[in-house]
Structure 1
Amino acid sequence: MNIDGNSITVKKSQEDLYNFLIQLENFKVLMPENTEKFEVDGESFIFGLKGMPEIRLVMKEKTEFSNVTLGAASSKLPFTLAANIEAVSDSESKVQLKFESSFNPMMAMMVKKPLTNFINTLTENLEKL
């Protein structure tokens, strides 16, 4: 299952946005309002949304200034969340969030709508930076 967020323009340079996203504590400002838990632990963070199980994301890959990829800490539900960043100008960049998983069809059907809403919220909050 793949979910591609909207491609948006952020009022930060490509380098500044990349540096913002590799600092995991910054994800706290991108989280939805119904976030009940958010804790950074080294190269990972755990978050919990109201009524949902807690999820731990681990830094999987960093390509300087163009990509930051987080992945599930648990192999039970393998997925990645990537932010692909492109320069627009010295003070603006384009970013698109991409969620990829190998969920079985039943699981994918159950989580597609909440995950799409989650990706949209992260995208909207990135746009406000």
Structure 2
Amino acid sequence: MTIIQNNVVINKPIGDVYAFLADLNNHEQLMPENIYNWTSTVDEARFTIKNMAKLALKISQRVENKEIVCVPSEEAPFEIKLAWRLEEQGAGTKATFVIEAQLNMMMKMMASGPLQKLVDHQVQRLKETLG
């Protein structure tokens, strides 16, 4: 299992950060420019990663003010789980974005760099979006 993660501290109450992340409609704001054909509901999102793949994700678990977990809702190129984990940090919130992917050695060499960039981009955009 390959685990890729990054975190950021946001100067907002944990409830505000959780409410934003618990709605997949908001996740489009966190995506890099190479994501297009975005459609979403509160529980599901579909999009295309330029020159890579189409993905459909659904929220499989919500633990209020703690964690939001997404898994593919259709067949994906590899087994993957995306999770936002939240914890209070002073007056703010520490948000950690974790991608767990079942990658063989070849896929790991090809995908781990872009996945790390995605994680880094999303935590930075979350901080910019929520201030």
% identical equivalent positions: 25
For the residues of structure 2 that align with 1:68 and 1:23, how far apart are their CA atoms?
10
Q: 1:109–1:31: structure 2 CA closer, same or farther, 3 Å change rule?
A: same
Matched, 1:60 2:67: no
Q: CA RMSD for the aligned pairs? A: 1.5
The number of equivalent residue pairs is: 127
Deviations 1:61-114 (A, max 9, x none): 111101111112235521111111011244x20111111021222112211111
For the residues of structure 2 that align with 1:123 and 1:13, how far apart are their CA atoms?
16
For the residues of structure 2 that align with 1:41 and 1:93, how far apart are their CA atoms?
25
Q: Residue 104 of structure 2 aligns with which residue?
A: 104
Q: Which runs of structure 2 are paired with 1:1-129 in the superposition (5 Å)?
A: 1-5=2-6, 7-41=7-41, 43-76=43-76, 77-90=78-91, 92-128=92-128, 129=130
For the residues of structure 2 that align with 1:111 and 1:125, how far apart are their CA atoms?
21
For the residues of structure 1 that align with 2:57 and 2:25, how far apart are their CA atoms?
12
For the residues of structure 2 that align with 1:4 and 1:34, how far apart are their CA atoms?
20
For the residues of structure 1 that align with 2:34 and 2:101, how far apart are their CA atoms?
24
**Does structure 2 retain, via aligned residues, the 8 Å contact 1:78–1:101?**
yes
Q: 1:42–1:11: structure 2 CA closer, same or farther, 3 Å change rule?
A: closer
TM-score normalised according to structure 2 size: 0.88
For the residues of structure 1 that align with 2:123 and 2:32, how far apart are their CA atoms?
10
**Does structure 2 retain, via aligned residues, the 8 Å contact 1:13–1:89?**
no
Residue type at the aligned position of 2:120: N
For the residues of structure 1 that align with 2:41 and 2:64, how far apart are their CA atoms?
22
Residue 32 of structure 1: how far off its partner (Å): 0.7
Residue 4 of structure 1: how far off its partner (Å): 1.5
Residue type at the aligned position of 1:25: N
Residue type at the aligned position of 2:58: V
For the residues of structure 2 that align with 1:66 and 1:27, how far apart are their CA atoms?
17
